[in-house]
Chain A
């Protein structure tokens, strides 16, 4: 067994370094090659801009905003796409620079949860109140029916109903 001499170690280290360096070169080349894909199309840009809101105008999506500023922001998106940034990264960039208002919905954090929770809760509460009201009405109705024996049959015909309604009013 050969002893590990200093020169041998140096040899291995330098070879290892060489391979690592080569690998890095290949990666870098690949990345440049990837980045040099054809410039992103308008549709690619709009696909991302549509999800974002103009940071200066009120409630205008970035893909349709006609202002010069927005045209520049769209160019920025194009540039970032060309650099190989993902949609999430671009969105993140806009949020960091212009605040959460560029998103089409409030981010799901902290106080913002209220915007998502309150409407369904209110709706369910309304549904529950309505359900309880039905229950109590039916209970009352059954009581009344039990007391009177049987409730008078309701007029089936709409004309009769209308007639009765008018008679009731004339009283």
Chain B
């Protein structure tokens, strides 16, 4: 009953989205968006499309609530409910199981998409009426695509039927079938029962869907032929918010991997991770290059291309993770949604790029590049580097598929490939982060740039010398820490310079001056905070990449393993049943540094009865200097061997998480609405 209702609502929403595409196109052709025609007969078309779009959010909300109701009440007669929930799961996990499986997460995608689409419809459109119909067309088509996937292929409301030939899942009763209601479900994959996994997908999806908005405005600008930077100004904050969500999604995913996957790291260059990282790369390049268009009226075509790429990488990322193409190219061909995704990406990419080519000459720059050291030139270099990382990532993900298709040989493209290629590019990006803020828009020469940069560069060189003297002779670490220092000094220097300038002219004390300055240039100083957060994260990454050590050993009770000056002593191990249908094996180890006792850790291995899956939860002692990360690998309770532990020493990794907090703060500063609204 509830399921039929939910499904029906989805079908209505799908039709409504198609309706709004049709009316919007008709409205645009009859120019009914213009204010003077607003009240006329034809003027109602665009408004009608807008209202239809507004309605999609409450409708998809109803459908999602219907599914949540089924999940929470444990109606295992429905295939989706059966596959992601079970009686033993707590309430909050039953709710979040909405995005715990394929069909549900596609519906969740549509839900968030409709929320953003409706929110955009509520903005003031007076100054940009001509964009409205085309923005609606793009948003509605994207929404309709995802709704169609849900309705026709990955239906979360399909129920189980017992037929003569076995059990099938279908929306409608097959001939001669009887409904089937299992008494318990499979339960959510235990790895996903973690707070990080509960908020990580929504963040990522929010980032994904909100990047659709700048794309919609870009396409609207292309179609209407409005070549100024209006679309960029409208979408600036949307883009920042999208970027914030996507970044947080990535960081939360990393944190989840670190806490739950039990391999001592946070990022494994897995195709699923990379598929979320790729839109981040183009999005970040876009955030930088729009500034050139705003300040100098240049790079209009390039910005269009970047936003188109970001949109299609978002869809591509969803396609990679949802179509099963990663486990095998042939799985892609078998899955119903794979070819559809492929067609959708191809269609949007080709039509967007054709549109861009058609408008190419209208998007000519208003001024030309003057100096290779100007701010805009360095921004371009930044874009080139981001594109470089993107190519490495894209090719690394795609190549195994090509190899399987062409030679039928499966290959792995793993971390060594990505690290070798991306490390120098990231290093160069950090160097740019250090230099670019000091270069001027328009004209900048080696002399002016040198004059600005030599002081922070000297300070950074001193840091390198100090690090070397402290006994760290690894070249990567020295270069890395030098770059980190350069960026921090340059950014602080910029804060100081700005604050002092205002202090001199207004007479305010330095901190008040800095506060007011940052308040008036939120975007600039928020951006600087983001730069600092990036290099703080770089400290953590360097620590892990260069200095991580590990050891593993089977030790009897009372013995210990030694690593990086620490002693991990095995005290005891116990096995017991715990809530949520799991059997817990929990070891107690005590950690010493030299003779000093630092505390106990409890590495454990949970075994889930329902799914038969284990979950490794490390015991972690975390400080600003390093993490000691202990995993219980194996145990023989009665024998003399005792238990096997794997111990990782992860220097500086905490700075990765600290950096991500600074990052959120910086982005909020940059995105916070100014008092005098520009839009």
Question: Chain A residues in contact with chain B, CB under 8 A?
Answer: 41-43, 46, 53, 58-59, 61, 64, 66, 71, 99-107, 110-112, 114-115, 118-120, 122-123, 126-127, 130, 133-134, 137-138, 140-141, 144, 154, 156, 158, 161, 165
Question: Chain B residues in contact with chain A, CB under 8 A?
Answer: 261-264, 268, 270-271, 294-295, 326-327, 368-372, 377, 380-381, 384, 387-388, 391-392, 395-396, 399-400, 402-403, 406-407, 409-417, 421, 440-443, 521, 550-554, 614, 616, 634, 644, 646
Q: A126-B387, A161-B295 are in contact. Are A106 and B413 (CB under 8 A)?
A: yes
B369: chain A residues within 8 A (beta carbon): 133-134, 137-138, 141
Find B412's partner among A105, A114, A130, A138 (CB 8 Å cutoff).
Answer: A105
- Residue pairs across A and B with CB atoms within 8 Å: the count is 126
A100: chain B residues within 8 A (beta carbon): 409-412
Find A130's partner among B294, B384, B392, B552 (CB 8 Å cutoff).
Answer: B384
B326: chain A residues within 8 A (beta carbon): 58
Additional pairs, 10, CB under 8 Å, beyond known A100-B411, A101-B412: A43-B552, A43-B553, A46-B552, A59-B268, A59-B412, A103-B412, A115-B396, A120-B421, A137-B368, A138-B368
Would B295 and A165 count as touching, CB distance under 8 A?
yes
Find A105's partner among B295, B384, B417 (CB 8 Å cutoff).
Answer: B417
B264: chain A residues within 8 A (beta carbon): 64
The distance from the CB of A40 to the nearest CB of chain B, in whole angstroms, is: 12
Q: A66-B262, A161-B441 are in contact. Are A106 and B399 (CB under 8 A)?
A: yes
Would A115 and B384 count as touching, CB distance under 8 A?
no
- The 6 A-B residue pairs whose C-beta atoms are closest, nearest first, are A64-B263, A104-B414, A42-B552, A137-B369, A154-B442, A106-B411
A59: chain B residues within 8 A (beta carbon): 268, 270-271, 412, 414
Among B261, B552, B553, chain A packs the most CB atoms within 10 A around the CB of B552
B271: chain A residues within 8 A (beta carbon): 59
Find A64's partner among B262, B295, B554 (CB 8 Å cutoff).
Answer: B262
- Pick 18 A–B contacts, CB within 8 A, sort by A: A43-B552, A61-B263, A64-B262, A64-B263, A64-B264, A103-B411, A104-B415, A106-B412, A111-B402, A111-B403, A114-B399, A119-B421, A126-B384, A130-B380, A134-B377, A137-B368, A138-B371, A165-B295
Q: A59-B270, A123-B391 are in contact. Are A106 and B403 (CB under 8 A)?
A: yes
Would B370 and A138 count as touching, CB distance under 8 A?
yes
A133: chain B residues within 8 A (beta carbon): 369
Find A102's partner among B294, B381, B412, B417 (CB 8 Å cutoff).
Answer: B412
The distance from the CB of B354 to the nearest CB of chain A, in whole angstroms, is: 21
Q: Which chain A residue lies CB-closest to B407?
A: A111
Q: Which chain A residue lies CB-closest to B385?
A: A123
A107: chain B residues within 8 A (beta carbon): 411
Would A101 and B396 count as touching, CB distance under 8 A?
no
The distance from the CB of A133 to the nearest CB of chain B, in whole angstroms, is: 8
A106–B396 Cα distance when bound, in Å, is: 10
